Amino acid sequence: MTAVLTADAVTKQFAKDDEAIVALREFDLDIEEGSFVTLLGRSGCGKSTLLNMLAGLTAPSTGRVRYRDRTLSGPDTSIGYLTQHDTLMPGRDVLRNVEMPLEIKGVPAAERRRVAAELIERVGLGGFEKHYPRELSGGMRRRASLARMLAGAPETLLMDEPFGALDAQLRTELQEELLRLWQGSGQTVVFVTHDIEEALLLGDRVVVLGKLGRILLDRKIGLSRPRSADESRVDPEFVALHRELSASLKGDAS
Give the interface with ligand ATP as residue ranges (CB under 6 A): 14, 16, 21, 23, 41, 43-49, 194
CB 147 to ligand ATP: min, Å: 23
Q: Give the list of residues 6+ apart from residue 139 with CB closer than 8 angstroms, or none.
A: 165, 166, 167, 170
Of 57 and 223, nearer to ligand ATP (C-beta) is: 57
Find out whether 97 and 150 touch, Cβ atoms under 8 Å.
no
Residue 64 CB, nearest approach to ligand ATP (Å): 18
Give the nearer residue to ligand ATP in terms of CB position, either 61 or 185. Answer: 61
3-state secondary structure of 121: helix
- The Cα 245–Cα 199 span in angstroms is 10
Give whichever of 11 and 185 is closer to ligand ATP, judged by the CB atom: 11
For ligand ATP, give the closer residue by CB, 6 or 49. 49
Distance of closest approach, residue 163 Cβ to ligand ATP, in angstroms: 14
- CA 208-211-212 angle, to 5 degrees, is 105
- CB contact at 8 A, 39 and 47: yes
Q: How far apart are the first and last CA of the chain?
A: 32
Q: Residue 203 CB, nearest distance to ligand ATP (Å)?
A: 17
Taking the least distance from each CB to ligand ATP, the nearer of 28 and 135 is 28
Residue 154 CB, nearest approach to ligand ATP (Å): 21
